[in-house]
């Protein structure tokens, strides 16, 4: 009798076992670190330890001064130190929220690192947490009054918490684009995966070729979303929260990039595809993982810091030097002619009708990391995903629909994709003609007839022209139905070229 009655309460203990297990966020390392473990555990440990030491874990972050990240800093002066764990301080800015567990840096010369457990705004008393002290020995002398104090990290904390709530689902705890919901996006071929921040590359930027995204670009992406993709708009998010998230995203990007560069430095220690460790392992290990490691880390950090800092420089932004040319039919026609010209080759990717189904999609691109061709034809981005050129008839512009945004795409291209910058071979006024044409395609159509009238391809095509394969929405997924029809004399691309000459 007793035991039967206890069944139900005992079953209620099940949640403790599954489902509600204490979820601790952890950064995951690049998969190559695990590979490195098999051939050179010393090298793998070095990578893991450096990342842990300089970036920490999501619950125990490290604010590293070498990186151009705004961690959120409050400066002040120590008024008195009643005991080893309490300080009375005068802060320069009143903290608007209650903060805790931020780093406390006392003095300039050799800062002793402590963590603030609690700050009482009424009594201006800072309670230090003894457990997290990273000072080599407990400070023996009480902190002298007048010592400058810096409380570092509240913005990083806010960013991390907000990121976990809003972004981690897709972008993952490490910012690797592998969050729990990311796999539901990969089923939909045409949608890009969530961004893997670890290359430090972002597609839609306002900076010149080769430069990174700046804070304003990231802010714009998060606020406006990327139309047509699974990246939603966070327009209603408060600016403060948004800025904190941006800093955390940069933090994750820099962490990932330093990891990549360290792994590139240790590339020769990785085992082969079939698992054989490299020959000459001991010497290589000594050279790369032991002697040269610190220098490689310093080099990677300096490069990353420099790249992210350069992106903020307004000189490295892309802005036109002339106003947009008036959006007249003549301008659009000029744009159209430039678009289909083989000297520029827009149509070879974007298609004669701008539907993103150009002939270059049939080519097998080479992987720049292995020099081998990919298995399937199609364009690839830096993350080796198949991507498609923009279907310009849809009216969806991921990087923004302002003339400035389209101008930037045409001038500088899209970072980390095959979309090149055409500032090198197309004059600025011609680029504005192309912008006028591109922006008019969804409304007025992509084609021009012999009278200079703009029309939508599909509509007229059925009326007067023979069925041409270039002008339809085809999937380029290995299906053969866009093979050129057996024509007697000309190839389809040549016949289109002939057709479009005015």
Nearer to other proteins by Cβ, of 29 and 436: the residue is 436
SS3 237: coil
Binds other proteins (CB under 8 A): choice among 86, 125, 178, 341? 341
Binding test (CB under 8 A) with other proteins, winner from 404, 458, 474, 500: 404
Binding residue (CB under 8 A) for other proteins from 294, 429, 452, 469: 294
Residue closer to other proteins by CB (options 283, 450) is: 283
- Residue 187 CB coordination number (10 Å): 7
Give me 300's structure tokens. Answer: 């990677």
Closest contact distance (angstroms) between CB of 486 and other proteins is 15
- Under the criterion CB under 8 A, does residue 424 sit at the interface with other proteins? yes
CB of 400 to other proteins, least distance (A): 9
CB of 411 to other proteins, least distance (A): 10
Residue 402: CB minimum distance to other proteins, A: 5
Question: Scanning the structure block, which residue is given the tokens 């009798």?
Answer: 1
Instruction: Strands of 121-196 (E only): list them.
Output: 125-129, 148-152
Interaction between residue 178 and other proteins (CB under 8 A) = no
What is the crossing angle of helices 215-224 and 239-265, to 10°?
120
Q: Closest distance between other proteins and the C-beta of residue 362, in Å?
A: 7
Q: Report in angstroms how near the CB of residue 475 gets to other proteins at its nearest.
A: 19
Cβ pair 67, 290 in contact under 8 A: no
Instruction: Enumerate residues 298-317 that contact other proteins by CB under 8 A.
Output: 298, 301, 303, 307
* Shortest distance, position 174 Cβ to other proteins, whole Å: 13
Q: Which stretch binds other proteins (CB under 8 A): 34-42, 83-91, 250-258, 321-329?
A: 321-329
Provide the b/e sequence for 375-391 (b: ≥16 CB within 10 Å).
Answer: eebbbbbebeebbbbbb
The DSSP element (H or E) to which 222 belongs, if any, is helix 215-224
CB 42, min distance to other proteins, A: 18
Span of 36-44, 83-91, 418-426, 464-472 interacting with other proteins by CB under 8 A: 418-426
CA distances from 106 to 83, 89, 132 (A): 15, 11, 15
- 86-91 and 73-83: which strand pairing? antiparallel
Residues 25-54 that bind other proteins (CB under 8 A): 25, 53-54
363 binds other proteins (CB under 8 A): yes
Task: With beta carbons less than 8 A apart as the criterion, state whether 419 and 381 touch.
Answer: no
Applying the rule CB under 8 A, the residues between 55 and 114 that interact with other proteins are: 56, 58-67, 71, 100-103, 105, 111, 113
Q: Is the dihedral of CA 375, 381, 385, 390 positive or negative?
A: negative
Using the rule CB under 8 A, which residue among 125, 365, 482, 495 binds other proteins? 365
Between residue 449 and residue 478, which ones bind other proteins under the rule CB under 8 A?
none
Comparison of 12 and 141: residue with beta carbon closer to other proteins: 12
Burial class of residue 368 in the structure, from the number of CB atoms within 10 Å of its CB (0-12 exposed, 13-18 middle, 19+ buried): exposed
Nearest distance, CB of residue 432 and other proteins, angstroms: 8
User: What residues between 132 and 171 interact with other proteins by CB under 8 A?
Assistant: 132, 134, 152-153, 156-157, 160-161, 164-166, 168-169
Per CB under 8 A, 324 contacts other proteins:
yes
Query: Which of 122, 187, 315, 321 touches other proteins by CB under 8 A?
Result: 321
- How many C-beta atoms lie closer than 10 Å to residue 364's C-beta? 12
Smaller CB separation from other proteins, 1 or 141: 1
- Cα gap 341→500, rounded to integer Å: 9
Contact between 20 and other proteins per CB under 8 A: yes
Quick one: 42 or 344, whose CB is closer to other proteins?
Answer: 344
Chain centre to alpha carbon of residue 185: 17
DSSP H helices, 225-346, are 239-265, 281-284, 293-312, 329-340
Distance of CA 430 to the CA centre of its chain: 31
Cα–Cα distance for residue pair 451/383, rounded to 1 Å = 45
Which residue number, 141 or 323, has a Cβ lying nearer to other proteins? 323
For residues 222-241, which are near other proteins according to CB under 8 A? 223-225, 227, 230, 232-233, 235-236
Strand partners, 88: 80, 125
* Beta carbon nearer to other proteins, 163 or 197: 163
Residue (315 or 450) nearer to other proteins, CB: 315
Q: What's the CA gap between 278 and 35, in Å, rounded?
A: 12
Supply the minimum distance, in Å, between the C-beta of residue 467 and other proteins: 20
With CB under 8 A as the rule, give the number of residues binding other proteins.
131
Coil, strand, or helix at residue 227? Answer: coil
For residues 311 and 212, give the distance between their C-alpha atoms in angstroms, rounded to a whole number: 5
Residues 491/484, Cβ–Cβ less than 8 Å = yes
Q: In a 3-state reduction of DSSP, which class is residue 312?
A: helix
Residues 189-218, one symbol each (x = binds other proteins by CB under 8 A, - = not), give: --------------------xxx----x--
Tokens 């002398």, residue located: 141
Q: Cα–Cα distance between 354 and 336 in angstroms, integer?
A: 10
- Nearest approach in angstroms of CB 201 to other proteins is 9
């Amino acid at each position: 009798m007793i035991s039967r009655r206890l069944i139900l309460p005992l079953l209620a203990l099940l949640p403790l076992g599954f489902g509600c297990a204490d979820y601790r966020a952890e950064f995951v390392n690049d998969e190559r670190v695990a590979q490195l473990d098999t051939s050179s555990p010393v090298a793998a440990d070095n990578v893991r330890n450096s990342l842990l030491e300089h970036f920490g874990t999501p619950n125990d972050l490290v604010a590293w001064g070498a990186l151009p990240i705004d961690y959120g800093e409050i400066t002040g002066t120590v008024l008195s130190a009643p005991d080893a764990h309490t300080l009375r301080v005068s802060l320069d800015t009143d903290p608007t929220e209650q903060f805790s567990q931020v780093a406390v840096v006392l003095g300039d010369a050799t800062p002793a690192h402590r963590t603030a457990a609690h700050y009482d705004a009424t009594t201006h008393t800072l309670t230090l947490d003894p457990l997290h002290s990273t000072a080599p020995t407990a400070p023996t002398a009480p902190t002298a009054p007048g010592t400058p104090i810096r409380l570092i990290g509240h913005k990083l904390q806010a960013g991390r918490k907000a990121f976990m709530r809003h972004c981690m689902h897709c972008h993952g705890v490490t910012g690797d684009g592998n969050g729990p919901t990311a796999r539901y996006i990969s089923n939909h071929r045409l949608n890009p995966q969530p961004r893997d921040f670890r290359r430090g590359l972002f597609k839609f930027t306002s900076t010149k070729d080769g430069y990174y995204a700046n804070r304003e670009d990231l802010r714009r992406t998060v606020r406006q979303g990327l139309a047509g993709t699974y990246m939603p708009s966070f327009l209603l998010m408060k600016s403060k929260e948004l800025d904190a998230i941006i800093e955390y995203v940069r933090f994750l990007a820099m962490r990932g990039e330093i990891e990549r560069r360290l792994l590139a430095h240790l590339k020769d220690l990785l085992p082969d595809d079939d698992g054989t460790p490299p020959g000459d392992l001991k010497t290589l290990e000594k050279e790369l993982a032991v002697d040269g490691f610190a220098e490689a880390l310093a080099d990677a950090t300096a490069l990353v810091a420099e790249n992210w800092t350069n992106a903020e420089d307004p000189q490295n932004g892309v802005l036109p030097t002339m106003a947009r040319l008036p959006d007249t039919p003549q301008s659009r026609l000029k744009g159209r002619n430039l678009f289909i010209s083989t000297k520029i080759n827009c149509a070879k990717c974007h298609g004669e009708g701008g539907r993103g189904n150009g002939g270059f999609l049939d080519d097998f691109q080479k992987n720049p990391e292995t020099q081998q061709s990919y298995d399937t034809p199609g364009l690839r981005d830096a993350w080796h995903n198949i991507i498609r050129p923009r279907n310009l008839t849809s009216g969806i512009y991921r990087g923004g629909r302002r003339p400035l945004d389209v101008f930037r795409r045409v001038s500088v291209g899209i970072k980390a994709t095959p979309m090149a910058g055409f500032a090198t071979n197309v004059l600025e006024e011609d680029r504005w003609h192309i912008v006028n044409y591109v922006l008019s395609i969804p409304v007025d159509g992509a084609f021009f007839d012999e009278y200079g009238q703009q029309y939508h391809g599909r509509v007229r095509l059925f009326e007067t022209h023979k069925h041409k394969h270039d002008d339809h929405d085809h999937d380029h997924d290995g299906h053969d139905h866009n093979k050129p029809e057996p024509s007697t004399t000309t190839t389809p691309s040549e016949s289109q070229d002939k057709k479009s000459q005015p």
